[in-house]
Amino acid sequence: MTYREFLAAVRERGEYGDTSEVLGVTEAVLSTLGERLQPVAANHLADQLPIELAEVLVDAADAGPGRSWGVQEFVRRVAEITGDDEEAAHAHAEAVLTVLAQTISGGELNRLISQLPTAYAELLGHAELA
């Protein structure tokens, strides 16, 4: 999937009005995910993303060791970046991470899933993480 296709899919999924909003939301969620993951896991994931998105993920992951945030803290951090309330931030995270899950290979999705608590299932567009 190209950068434009990824953003278009997020725009459609999240029903966003303009490109700048889609870009801001996508970067907020991916940078938060980058902080959440161990750097090695973020690098593996970044290999399957368009370079523009991979850079956001890896730059955030390089800031330090992965965090152990649950979904609530993840959403709170997205809300902090976007300036939205937590309900909107949850919708942003779900839109971006669902598109991400559809973009990467099954093996990479399984690797990502193994790094996260099961509560992330909804954000990734899966009924449950296995």
Q: Rounded distance, CA 84 to CA 78, Å? A: 8
- Give the pLDDT confidence score for residue 127 in this predicted structure: 64
pLDDT means per 10 residues in the chain (130 residues)?
A: 96 94 97 94 95 96 86 97 97 97 92 88 74
- Give the pLDDT confidence score for residue 6 in this predicted structure: 97
- Give the pLDDT confidence score for residue 85 in this predicted structure: 97
Structure-token match 């993303």, residue found: 49
- Give the pLDDT confidence score for residue 130 in this predicted structure: 47
CA-closest candidate to residue 93, choices 114, 69, 62: 69
CA separation (Å) from 75 to 2, 104, 108? 26, 22, 22
Put simply, whether the predicted model's pTM sits higher than 0.95 gets the answer no
With contact defined as beta carbons under 8 Å apart, do 27 and 113 qualify?
Answer: no
Please report the domains of the chain, with CATH numbers, ordered by start residue.
Answer: 3-120 (1.10.490.110)
